[in-house]
Amino acid sequence: MIPMQATFTAFMGQRRLASGAAGDVALAVKRAGSNPDQPIIIFDDGTGRSIDFDLRGEDHEVLARLAEIMPPPTEITEPLSEPRGRGRPKLGVVAREVTLLPRHWEWLNAQPGGASVALRKLVDEARRASGDKDRERQARDAAYHFMSTMAGNLPQFEEASRALFADERRRFTGLIADWPTDIRDHIVKLAYSDRA
């Protein structure tokens, strides 16, 4: 699932340079220029992983290239693997293959609306039931990926990682309290911004 608006954050050394939409961050990085002593790394806030933007050319060329590779949040990001045929094309229904045992098919076919309706209901119910846990896991993973890149050599990194994965927020924030402010704040934002 794609977040409503994908955001990115650029760091110049240990200092946050820019944060926001891809175009805004790319142009801020382009204007900052390069400095071998202060490398600039851009991170995808959704994954915590570093990402490269092609910053060659004029601003409008940079933005045009980004528009090609960064789909708007409302677009389907997964290409259709087979041509559309029967079904409900206006609803975006795509046929896929599902392998189940005969007893599973018997149960599904006995459900009101048949196998497709029953499978959709089961998937929706599972998504609702695990939604919060999935978001927490994705946030924790993003924080860890960013933390590994930017803070892997900082004191207490291993202990902080253990506390992050154990969901010991107070201990985690205490262990990273002496880390560079922008790095520390961004890690906390990635890990806990969706939680109260």
pLDDT digits (tens, 9 = 90+) for 131-154: 778 888 999 999 999 999 999 999
**What's residue 196's pLDDT?**
47
Q: Where are the domains of the chain?
A: 1-97, 98-196
> Rounded to whole angstroms, how far apart are CA atoms 94 and 88?
9
**What's residue 26's pLDDT?**
94
Q: How confident is the model at residue 123 (pLDDT cuts 50, 70, 90)?
A: confident
> Rounded to whole angstroms, how far apart are CA atoms 22 and 145?
19
Average pLDDT value over all residues in the chain: 84
| The two structure tokens encoding residue 56 | 């060659």
User: What is the mean predicted confidence (pLDDT) over 51-77?
Assistant: 78
Give 12-39 pLDDT, tens digit per residue.
999 999 999 999 999 999 999 877 788 9
Q: Taking the CB of residue 100, how many other CB atoms lie within 10 A of it?
A: 12
Higher pLDDT, 100 or 92: 100
Contacts for 120 with CB less than 8 Å, ≥ 6 apart: none
Higher pLDDT, 194 or 102: 102
Instruction: State residue 96 phi and psi, 5-degree precision.
Output: -135, 165
Helix (H) or strand (E) holding 11: strand 8-12
- Comparing 50-59, 71-80, 105-114, 141-150, which segment has the lowest mean pLDDT? 71-80
Alpha helices (runs of H) in 45-180, residue ranges in sequence order: 59-69, 102-110, 114-151, 157-165, 169-175
Q: Supply the pTM of this predicted model.
A: 0.69
Percent of residues, the chain, with pLDDT higher than 90: 52
- Determine the 3-state secondary structure of 58 from DSSP: coil
Q: Taking the CB of residue 143, how many other CB atoms lie within 10 A of it?
A: 23
Q: How confident is the model at residue 159 (pLDDT cuts 50, 70, 90)?
A: very high
